[in-house]
Amino acid sequence: MAYYGPDFGLLEQQDPEIAQVLLDELDRQRDGIQLIASENFTSPAVLAALGSTLTNKYAEGYPGRRYYGGCEVVDRAERLAVARAEALFGAEHANVQPHSGASANLAAYAALMQPGDTMLAMALPHGGHLTHGSKVNFSGRWFDVVSYGVRRDTELIDYDEVMALAIRHRPKLIVCGATAYPRLVDYAAFRAIADEAGAWLLADAAHTIGLMAGRAIPSAVPYADIVTFTTHKALRGPRGGGILCTRELAGRVDRAVYPFVQGGPMMHAIAAKAVAFAEAARPEFAEYARNVVVNARVLCDALADEGMRPVSGGTDTHLALIDLRGLGVSGAEAERRCAVAGITLNRNAIPYDPEPPAVTSGVRVGTPCVTTQGMGPQELKEIGALVAQVVKNPDSAQAARERVEQLLVIHRPYLSEY
Ligand SMILES: *Cc1c(COP(=O)(O)O)cnc(C)c1O
């Protein structure tokens, strides 16, 4: 198995328990339909870079300015990753060291705010992220957070409310971007609000950066002072984060990532990010990103046809949020029923959800994984029907599972190149 690197046989010999975990997880990923909106299948080239000896190297600092000797080789990986990210996103500056999306946000906030400062961000129950001011997260503990949400009638961001809150509270920072919002974010509107309020604008594009890379949706880069992102969601790279910013903020962002938030960068992950940025610059990736959006729309329509109501009436992106109240099934129960049929998705709160977060009234579905596997509208229409079938009638799970297996015979990840 090339994907484990050259020494998988050695791993099997020396640590059969962990070798078995790797094999079982590969089987799990291959044997189901993955509709988790934040997941993807990286290329074998990305996996090869991740499983490399670059993990051995300490390289605190930045290329040419390290606090360790022997960094001249890994410097090349980071310079390539930075140059490729800047070119791919048309950004003045990129920092590729954040270990994750949450670390990228921590560093970005540190670059722009002091503890106690006010920030305005999307409420978690309306689609925002934990790092957008949840009380159980550093962001809610260290900053004075004001939240905006979506309108009850349209389920779209209420830009009038955002403007009113920005003028009333004068936040230092406005955060836009979300984890469960199916529609486009109007970055120009947020820019105008930030300018009016004298605030910095941060776009958290953790979910959508891959669609921006493939030009399938408009980019946040021309509007935001800082764009934070993950590399492992629709972008299809290694697990990790990154920050794009203006030239003006480059020094502040770099100092916030290191030495303020992080120590040594993960050079193997940075090399793998460079590989992913190069892959995302190819025309095939642009086609992939467009297909992800088309597939999400088809899936969303197929679910709507079965009485599963899409929040906001549809999707412009890679994901849809589905309100199950019309069927009388909770999000948690729907998640369990789909799992029996070999379809992995997650329960998710819908705006103004009457149910607690562990139960919820909705599910979130996304198409980055199935599109990487080469599935198209025909398959997504059928997957929508299968999801609806098992959610409504758990007794049909076995029949659905068989159909899932048939679909996967020709669309199994890591059996074909992409
Ligand atoms: C996924 C996500 C993050 C966090 O990324 P991690 O790599 O899990 O830390 C941050 N913001 C948003 C909007 C996300 O969707």
CATH of the domain at 62: 3.40.640.10
Instruction: Please indicate whether residue 367, judged by its CB atom, sits closer than 6 Å to ligand 1.
Output: no
What pLDDT, on a 0 to 100 scale, did the predictor assign at position 412? 83
- Give Cα separations from 407 to 39, 370, 376 (angstroms): 19, 11, 11
Which of the residues are catalytic?
58, 60, 204, 230, 233, 239
Region 351-366 average pLDDT? 97
Q: Same domain for 156 and 168?
A: yes
Q: Same domain for 271 and 410?
A: no
Residue whose Cα lies nearest atom 1 of ligand 1: it is 206
Q: Same domain for 306 and 213?
A: no
Instruction: Please indicate whether residue 38, judged by its CB atom, sits closer than 6 Å to ligand 1.
Output: yes
Which ligand 1 atom sits nearest the alpha carbon of residue 38? 1
- Residue 356, C-beta contacts closer than 8 angstroms, at least 6 positions apart: none
Is residue 62, in this structure, part of any structural domain at all?
yes
Which ligand 1 atom sits nearest the alpha carbon of residue 132? 11
Q: What is the dihedral of CA 229, 230, 231, 236, to 10 degrees?
A: -110
Distance 357 CA to ligand 1 centre (A): 18
Instruction: Please indicate whether residue 178, judged by its CB atom, sits closer than 6 Å to ligand 1.
Output: yes
Backbone angles phi, psi at 339, to 5 degrees: -60, -40
Q: Minimal CA–CA distance to 339: which of 91, 32, 24, 15?
A: 32
Give me the CATH number covering residue 313. 3.90.1150.10
Q: Same domain for 288 and 385?
A: yes
Give the global pTM.
Answer: 0.96
Is residue 28, in this structure, part of any structural domain at all?
no
C-beta separation of 121 from 171 below 8 A = no
* 4, pLDDT greater than 90: no
What pLDDT, on a 0 to 100 scale, did the predictor assign at position 6? 56
Instruction: Please indicate whether residue 173, judged by its CB atom, sits closer than 6 Å to ligand 1.
Output: no
Is residue 216, in this structure, part of any structural domain at all?
yes
Which ligand 1 atom sits nearest the alpha carbon of residue 232? 7
Residue 145, strand partner residues = 119
Ligand 1: residue of 179, 228, 319 to mutate (most ligand atoms within 8 A of CB) is 179
Residue whose Cα lies nearest atom 15 of ligand 1: it is 179
Q: Give the sheet arrangement for strand 346-348, strand by strand.
A: 309-310, 319-323, 362-366, 346-348
For residues 220 and 202, give the distance between their C-alpha atoms in angstroms, rounded to a whole number.
9
C-beta separation of 182 from 301 below 8 A = no
What pLDDT, on a 0 to 100 scale, did the predictor assign at position 3? 46
Q: Same domain for 128 and 209?
A: yes
Residue finishing a domain among 256, 280, 304: 280
Instruction: Please indicate whether residue 102, judged by its CB atom, sits closer than 6 Å to ligand 1.
Output: yes
Alpha helices in 306-363 (DSSP H): 331-340
- Residue 90, C-beta contacts closer than 8 angstroms, at least 6 positions apart: 219, 221, 222
Q: Into how many domains does the chain fold?
A: 2
Is residue 254, in this structure, part of any structural domain at all?
yes
What pLDDT, on a 0 to 100 scale, did the predictor assign at position 418? 45
Residue whose Cα lies nearest atom 8 of ligand 1: it is 101
Helix, strand, coil share (%) of the chain residues, nearest 5: 50, 15, 35
Is residue 18, in this structure, part of any structural domain at all?
no
pLDDT tens profile 173-221: 999 999 999 999 999 999 999 999 999 999 999 999 999 999 999 999 9
β 118-122/144-148 pair status: parallel
Region 376-384 average pLDDT? 98
Average pLDDT of the chain is 96
Q: Same domain for 301 and 265?
A: no
Is residue 42, in this structure, part of any structural domain at all?
no
Q: Same domain for 110 and 180?
A: yes
Residue finishing a domain among 280, 314, 342: 280
Is residue 393, in this structure, part of any structural domain at all?
yes
Q: Same domain for 410 and 265?
A: no
Region 54-80 average pLDDT? 97
Distance 107 CA to ligand 1 centre (A): 13
Residue finishing a domain among 225, 254, 280: 280
Two structure tokens written together for 117: 């400062």
Amino acid present at 375: M
3-state secondary structure of 139: helix
- Residue 25, C-beta contacts closer than 8 angstroms, at least 6 positions apart: none
* 414, pLDDT greater than 90: no
Distance 66 CA to ligand 1 centre (A): 28
What pLDDT, on a 0 to 100 scale, did the predictor assign at position 9? 85
Residue 2 — very low, low, confident or very high, per pLDDT cuts 50/70/90?
Answer: very low
Q: Same domain for 315 and 301?
A: yes
pLDDT tens profile 274-310: 999 999 999 999 999 999 999 999 999 999 999 999 9
Q: Same domain for 199 and 58?
A: yes
* 411, pLDDT greater than 70: yes
Q: Same domain for 211 and 124?
A: yes
Is residue 35, in this structure, part of any structural domain at all?
no
What pLDDT, on a 0 to 100 scale, did the predictor assign at position 69? 96
Q: Same domain for 263 and 294?
A: no
- Which CB contacts under 8 angstroms, 24+ apart, belong to 23-26? 26/1, 26/414
Query: Percentage of the chain with pLDDT > 90?
Result: 95
Q: Minimal CA–CA distance to 202: which of 172, 224, 220?
A: 224
Q: Which domain holds residue 377?
A: 284-416
What pLDDT, on a 0 to 100 scale, did the predictor assign at position 107? 98
